[in-house]
Amino acid sequence: MNLLILPHIKIHNANALSSPFTIGFPAMTAWLGFTHALERKLNSKGFPDLMLHSVAVVSHHCDVQTYKGEGDFVHSIIGTGNPLDKDGSRSAFIEEARCHLDVSLVIEWSGNDEEVQNASFVEQLQSVIAGMKVAGGDVLSLYKPIIDSVIDSQDRSRLIRTLMPGYVLIERRDLMIEAMQEGADALDALLSYLTVNHSCEQLPDESIVWRSQRKARGWIVPIATGFQGISPLGEAKNQRDPTVPHRFAESVVTLGEFIMAHKVKHLDDMLWQYAPEVENDLYLCQQVNANNSY
């Protein structure tokens, strides 16, 4: 498997509003969208045969811009009023959730080996990425990209070491399916794995012990993995691209989990790719191995 590794991309003010009702790590659509945009830009820079098939996201640091003061019950979004109006007054406040990130991306590619192995490719790659938005944020810096090939377990171990310490985002759709088979609707199933339940017990000496626990172990988080079309294909006034049919859509939100990179057993367990279901009006991002066992 040919891999392109983009280590430690530092991103400023990435979009943390991953869906209409979740705030945190950017949606998977943002990462695959960046990968698709990168492929198209490199194709236009003299690498027409290069194809980027799938991507893995490894989080080293995520700083969500929120604030919780003393005595506050919930966190508040740290907002800005930029840019100022023409007369210098502060513009209307728009609630935007932002985060600063340090992530590594592992991208599966195919194409002309000689072109990609050439030293000029890495230089052009860095130049292209420096001018791109990633998840809506600005790229501050990144380490030198690595062109690698993984054939056996030793190669995989070497790759994993370059990603440590870091947390790989994987899908946990299996948890949603399990809860919904027990009778919960989708929202209840989602919340049941995110809620922290507190309970207390009175000991024989009349002291009280509190315990806090969640339904499942692990760093379970809500993630947005695509869109569900809710209107027929057509045209809309001022649509972004007039050559492409327009439709209204809602976010598809499911469960994911951050696991330490060294726990990844197979590379396909951490790689994501597009998996549209056009007949069901679904535009999804899904893992290459959708049946992982974490």
Q: Residue 139 — pLDDT band, cuts 50, 70, 90?
A: very high
Backbone conformation region of residue 183, classed left if phi is above 0, alpha if psi is from -120 to 50, else beta = left
What's the pLDDT at 91? 73
What's the pLDDT at 294? 61
- CA atoms of 294 and 292, how far apart (whole Å): 6
Give me 133's structure tokens: 């938005």
Whether this model's pTM surpasses 0.75? yes
- CA atoms of 169 and 177, how far apart (whole Å): 19
Give me 207's structure tokens: 């002291």
**C-beta neighbour count of 81 within 10 angstroms:** 12
Give me 27's structure tokens: 């949606």
What's the pLDDT at 70? 87
CA neighbor of 149 nearest in space, from 118, 114, 108: 108
Q: What is the DSSP string of 226-284?
A: EEEE-S-SB--TT-S-TTS-B--EEEEEEEEEEEEGGG--SGGGT-EEE--BGGGTEEE
